[in-house]
Amino acid sequence: MFKKLKDLILQTFTGKDNKTLDLGRILWAKGVMLFFGLSIYDIYRGAAFDASTWGVGLGAVLAAGGAALAFKSGTEPTE
């Protein structure tokens, strides 16, 4: 089970060769986790939750990460 989890994480955060760590993917994941964390903290502090605005914000974070990976896709090692 841990080998499958390790392989999943490795394939998620590495380039096409599944060996080279990809800083763009790591920072994208950290950005999404930060978005969720700050959202939870904001609700904990008593702020009103607007699902529409939250969804637009999450979409922007995901789209920006995807665009960044698309821009740098030509620099990834293949072997």
Residues 36, 41, 43, 44: is their CA dihedral positive or negative?
Answer: positive
Task: Please report which confidence band the pLDDT of residue 50 belongs to, taking 50, 70 and 90 as the band edges.
Answer: very high
Cut 0.75: pTM above it = yes
Mean pLDDT calculated for residue range 55-60: 95
Dist CA 30 CA 13 (whole Å): 11
For residue 73, pLDDT over 90 is answered with no
For 7, the enclosing helix (H) or strand (E) is: helix 2-12
Tokens at residue 12, please? 């998620």
Instruction: Let me know if 70 is exposed, middle or buried by CB neighbors in 10 A (0-12, 13-18, 19+).
Output: exposed
Give the domain ranges of the chain.
2-75
49 DSSP 8-state letter: P
Average pLDDT rounded to a whole number, residues 19-36:
92
- Label residue 20 by pLDDT band (50, 70, 90): confident
